[in-house]
C-alpha cells in the first residue's frame, strides 16, 4: 500500500512536456521562461518545419502554436499534430483574432483558442494548469488500473493472496484457448466471475457470454432453454425459439450448477459436446454451434460419479481444464481487501460518510470462517454500512455470529485435546485425511464391522461410505 501511494505521488510530480511554436522569438522566450519556472520541460520552434521535426523525434503533452506564421501556419501544424501526436493537447494563439480563424481552429480540432494580448501569459498558464491536472488524474487512474491488474490479474476479481494469484495466472493461461473449463468451489466463492474473466480475456470477448443455472430448471424446461424449440413442439410453444447454445454461437456458455443436471440431460449434453451440433425440440434438422463451454459446480464430482449421479464420460468432456476456486477462509489475506472494496461500494450507493473499518471489527472479519464465502462477506458489509451511524464500521453493527466469533484459536488433535495453532502451520489435507480415516474406523468399530450401519452412523450414503473406505484402504 505504501508503495502504491509513493508511486501515485511520483506520478503527480510529472509535469507535461510543452512545445512552443511562434515566429516571434520574444513570445517563445517569454513562454519558455514562464513554464520552465513552473517545472515544465519546454522546447521551442520558430516555424512549422522545425516543429514537425521535433514532433517526429519527441513526445509532447501540450503544443502551443501561433496561427499566423510565414509559410505554413498553425492550423496546418494542428492537422499534422493530430496525425503524429493525437493525444497532445493543442492550443492555438493569434494576434489577429477573427471569426474565420476561430472557426478554422475549432473545426481543425484545437483544444483551446487564445488571443495574444496583455493577458496571454495568464490565459496560457491557466490552460496549461488545467491540462496538467487532467493529465495527472488520468495517469493516476491508469496507474491504479494497471496496479489492480498486476495485483489481481483481472479488474473484476479482488484478491492478492498466493492462491488467488495462482487462479489469475491460470485464467490468463487458458483464456486464449478454446478448451472446456470446469470450475469447482463452494457456493459464494466467485465461480461465475472466474468464468467471465476467462471469456473477457479470450478471442471470444466480443461475442456473447451467456449464463444458465442448470439447477434452477426442471429437466424438460432446461432442454428447451439449451437447445431451443420449434413452434408446436409442445403445449405453449407458440413460436420458434432459439436455444442458448445457438444464442452463444461464437462466444461462451457458462453452465452453473451443472452437478444438478439430470442423467437424461447429461446424455443429451454429452452428444452436443461430442458432435458440436444441436437439434431444437420438434425439429428434424441439426445446427452447427461453435461455443466454448465453461461449467461450474459446488459438488464433489468424484463422489457424484461414485454414487451414480453424474456420468463419468461427461465429466471428462467438461474437465479438460479444472480450476478450483478457494474458499474465503483459505485466503484470509484477502478479507481486508474485499471488506474495504465492499465498504467503498455501499458507502457510495448509500451516500454515507463512513471512512473505514475499526480494528476490532476487522479482527472479527478476518477470524470468522465465512461458510458463505465472498457472498456472505458482501452481504455482511452491506448490512454494516446500512446500520452504521459513525465514521467507521464498528463491532456493534456486525451480525452476532461474527461479532461474537472467537476464531479457530485451537485445533483438535487425535486424542481430543486442543493445542495452540502451530507456528509453522499444518498440512491441512493430511489432517483432514487422518480425521476421515479416524471417523471411518470409529464407525466400523461401533457398528461391529457392518458397513451399512457404519454409513448410517456417519450420515452418508452407503456408496459414499464405499468411496471413502476405498480411498483409505479400509
Express each pLDDT in 15-63 by its tens digit.
Answer: 788 999 999 899 999 999 999 998 888 999 999 899 888 887 677 889 9
Burial letters for 368-386: b for 16+ Cβ neighbours within 10 Å, e otherwise? bbbebbbebbbebbbebbe
How far is 391 from 377, CA to CA, in rounded Å?
A: 20
DSSP output for 232-299:
TSSTT--S-EE-HHHHTTTSEEEEETGGGS-HHHHHHHHHHHHHSEE--BT-S--EE---EEEEEESS
Residue listed under C-alpha cell 452463444: 248
Q: In the prediction, which pLDDT does 139 show?
A: 61
Q: In the prediction, which pLDDT does 149 show?
A: 45
Residue 357 neighbours by CB distance under 10 Å: 23
Q: In the prediction, which pLDDT does 210 show?
A: 93
Distances from the Cα of 383 to the Cαs of 377, 380, 398, in angstroms? 10, 5, 8
Looking at per-residue confidence, does 417 or 454 come out higher? 454
Residue 267 neighbours by CB distance under 10 Å: 12
Residue 80 neighbours by CB distance under 10 Å: 16
Q: In the prediction, which pLDDT does 155 show?
A: 60
Express each pLDDT in 185-239 by its tens digit.
Answer: 999 999 999 999 999 888 888 888 999 999 888 888 999 999 999 888 888 888 8
Give yes or no for residue 343 having a pLDDT over 90.
Answer: yes
Top mean-pLDDT range of 70-79, 123-132, 177-186, 280-289: 177-186
Would you say 66 and 94 are in contact if contact means Cβ atoms under 8 Å apart?
A: yes
How far is 130 from 126, CA to CA, in rounded Å?
A: 6
Burial of 182 (0-12, 13-18, 19+ CB in 10 A): buried
Confidence grade of residue 287 (pLDDT, cut at 50, 70, 90): confident
How far is 361 from 68, CA to CA, in rounded Å?
A: 66
How far is 335 from 376, CA to CA, in rounded Å?
A: 12
Tell me the three cell numbers of residue 273: 459436446
Top mean-pLDDT range of 215-219, 268-272, 459-463: 268-272
Those residues whose C-beta lies under 8 Å from the C-beta of residue 130, and which sit 6 or more positions away, are none
Mean pLDDT, to the nearest integer, of 383-394? 93
Phi, psi of 151 (to 5 degrees): -75, -40
Instruction: Pick left, alpha or beta for residue 109 (phi over 0 → left; psi -120 to 50 → alpha; otherwise beta).
Output: left
Tell me the three cell numbers of residue 403: 461479532
Give the global pTM: 0.56
Would you say 128 and 16 are in contact if contact means Cβ atoms under 8 Å apart?
A: yes
Confidence grade of residue 1 (pLDDT, cut at 50, 70, 90): very low
Q: In the prediction, which pLDDT does 140 show?
A: 62
Give yes or no for residue 118 having a pLDDT over 90.
Answer: no
Q: In the prediction, which pLDDT does 14 show?
A: 63
Mean pLDDT, to the nearest integer, of 178-190? 94
Amino acid at each position: 500500500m505504501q508503495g502504491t501511494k509513493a508511486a501515485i505521488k511520483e506520478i503527480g510530480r510529472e509535469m507535461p512536456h510543452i512545445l512552443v511554436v511562434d515566429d516571434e522569438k520574444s513570445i517563445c522566450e517569454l513562454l519558455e521562461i514562464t513554464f520552465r519556472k513552473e517545472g515544465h520541460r519546454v522546447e521551442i520552434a520558430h516555424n512549422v518545419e522545425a516543429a514537425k521535426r521535433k514532433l517526429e523525434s519527441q513526445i509532447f503533452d501540450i503544443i502551443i502554436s501561433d496561427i499566423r506564421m510565414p509559410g505554413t501556419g498553425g492550423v496546418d501544424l494542428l492537422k499534422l499534430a493530430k496525425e503524429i501526436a493525437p493525444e497532445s493537447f493543442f492550443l492555438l494563439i493569434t494576434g489577429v483574432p477573427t471569426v474565420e480563424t476561430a472557426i478554422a481552429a475549432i473545426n481543425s480540432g484545437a483544444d483551446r483558442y487564445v488571443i495574444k494580448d496583455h493577458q496571454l501569459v495568464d490565459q496560457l498558464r491557466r490552460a496549461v494548469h488545467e491540462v496538467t491536472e487532467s493529465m495527472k488524474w488520468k495517469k493516476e487512474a491508469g496507474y491504479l488500473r494497471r496496479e489492480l491488474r498486476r495485483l489481481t490479474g483481472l479488474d473484476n476479481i479482488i484478491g492478492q493472496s498466493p492462491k488467488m494469484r495462482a487462479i489469475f495466472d491460470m485464467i490468463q493461461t487458458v483464456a486464449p484457448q478454446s478448451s472446456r473449463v470446469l470450475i469447482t468451489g463452494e457456493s459464494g466463492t466467485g465461480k461465475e466471475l472466474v468464468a467471465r474473466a476467462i471469456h473477457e480475456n479470450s478471442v471470444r470477448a466480443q461475442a456473447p457470454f451467456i449464463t444458465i443455472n442448470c439447477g434452477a430448471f426442471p429437466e424438460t424446461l432446461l432442454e428447451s432453454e439449451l437447445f431451443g424449440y420449434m413452434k408446436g413442439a409442445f403445449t405453449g410453444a407458440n413460436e420458434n425459439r432459439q436455444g442458448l447454445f445457438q444464442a452463444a454461437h461464437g462466444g461462451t456458455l457458462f453452465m452453473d450448477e451443472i452437478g444438478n443436471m439430470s442423467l437424461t440431460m447429461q446424455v443429451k449434453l454429452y452428444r452436443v459436446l461430442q458432435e458440436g451440433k444441436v437439434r431444437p425440440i420438434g425439429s428434424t434438422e441439426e445446427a452447427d454451434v461453435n461455443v466454448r463451454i465453461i461449467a461450474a459446480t459446488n459438488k464433489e464430482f468424484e463422489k457424484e460419479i461414485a454414487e451414480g449421479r453424474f456420468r463419468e464420460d461427461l465429466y471428462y468432456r467438461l474437465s479438460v481444464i479444472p480450476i478450483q476456486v478457494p474458499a474465503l477462509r483459505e485466503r484470509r489475506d484477502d478479507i481486508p481487501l474485499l471488506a474495504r472494496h465492499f465498504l467503498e461500494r455501499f458507502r457510495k450507493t448509500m451516500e454515507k460518510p463512513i471512512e473505514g473499518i475499526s480494528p476490532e471489527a476487522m479482527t472479527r472479519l478476518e477470524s470468522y470462517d465465512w461458510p458463505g464465502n465472498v457472498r456472505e462477506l458482501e452481504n455482511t458489509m452491506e448490512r454494516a454500512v446500512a446500520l452504521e451511524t459513525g465514521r467507521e464500521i464498528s463491532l456493534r453493527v456486525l451480525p452476532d455470529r461474527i461479532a461474537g466469533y472467537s476464531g479457530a484459536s485451537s485445533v483438535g488433535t487425535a486424542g481430543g485435546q486442543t493445542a495452540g495453532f502451530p507456528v509453522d502451520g499444518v498440512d491441512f489435507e493430511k489432517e483432514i485425511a487422518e480425521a476421515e480415516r479416524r471417523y471411518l474406523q470409529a464407525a466400523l468399530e461401533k457398528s461391529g464391522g457392518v458397513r451399512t450401519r457404519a454409513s448410517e452412523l456417519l450420515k452418508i450414503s452407503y456408496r459414499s461410505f464405499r468411496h471413502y473406505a476405498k480411498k483409505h484402504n479400509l
